[in-house]
Amino acid sequence: AQSVAQPEDQVNVAEGNPLTVKCTYSVSGNPYLFWYVQYPNRGLQFLLKYITGDNLVKGSYGFEAEFNKSQTSFHLKKPSALVSDSALYFCAVSSGNTPLVFGKGTRLSVIA
Amino acid sequence: GAVVSQHPSWVICKSGTSVKIECRSLDFQATTMFWYRQFPKQSLMLMATSNEGSKATYEQGVEKDKFLINHASLTLSTLTVTSAHPEDSSFYICSARAGQGAYNSPLHFGNGTRLTVT
């Protein structure tokens, strides 16, 4: 069975500083990895995905994530955080024809 | 592109009544849509996979007679919460994939429906 772990419930970072939101996964076969962001009382917005190719993928709003196969990780990063980045972030994984499985989410708080 | 519209955005109903939530893909066709439930400060739980023209596939532990899903067209799926009770209060979110619907393509989500059962 596939699973996703987001070890941090909350990440706090000062505006302008780099941010990292961690994600590790477990899956049989090749993983399809995704990051989504959720603002209050809204659905999820797609940020980026890794399917194959370069381990570093770039996505929306300046976010990027690095796929690390040996560590089974897919951490989300941004060089310089904005207050408007404050939201709930979900990592998700699927493989082959399996439905997407989400992590429990990490709340990012960027402080001015 | 790839917009999913969900309606209503919030609903309050009395215990024992039924509530229907609509999920529409506005600019693409979706043979498959997914219904999720999200509890406060928790992740999304997949409830069921809605298949156009056939029966939905429910996840283990989800009562199919309680949560009726209909996917009558390539752009519309509905979730009906029947005989709702306060424990059904939650945030329900639908999603769909554009294109061929391959599992390596991203899901597009509706804005969710906040259901409160009194």
One-letter-per-residue 3-state SS of B79-97 = EEECCCCHHHCEEEEEEEE
A28-82 pLDDT per residue, tens = 888 999 999 999 888 889 999 999 889 999 999 999 999 999 999 999 999 999 9
B82-102 pLDDT per residue, tens = 999 999 999 999 999 776 556
Nearest to B46 by CA among A92, A112, A34, A9: A92
> Would an 8 Å CB–CB cutoff place B50 in contact with chain A?
no
B49/A99 CB distance under 8 A: yes
Specify the pLDDT at position B101. 57
SS3 A84: helix
A104/B108 CB distance under 8 A: no
Query: CA-to-CA distance for A92 and B79, rounded, in angstroms?
Result: 23
Query: For residue A89, what are the β-bridge partners?
Result: A37, A106
* Both structure tokens of A70: 């040996």
Query: CA-to-CA distance for A27 and A106, rounded, in angstroms?
Result: 21
Low-confidence ranges of chain B (pLDDT < 70): 1, 99-102
Half-sphere exposure of B6 (CA within 13 A, CB side): 27
| Torsion sign (Cα): A2, A8, A9, A11 | negative
Nearest to B103 by CA among A89, A60, A95, A110: A95
Which residues from B are below 8 Å from A97, CB to CB?
Answer: 103
Which residues from B are below 8 Å from A103, CB to CB?
Answer: 43
B106/A34 CB distance under 8 A: yes
| Torsion sign (Cα): B5, B81, A37, A55 | negative
Query: CA-to-CA distance for B115 and B10, rounded, in angstroms?
Result: 6
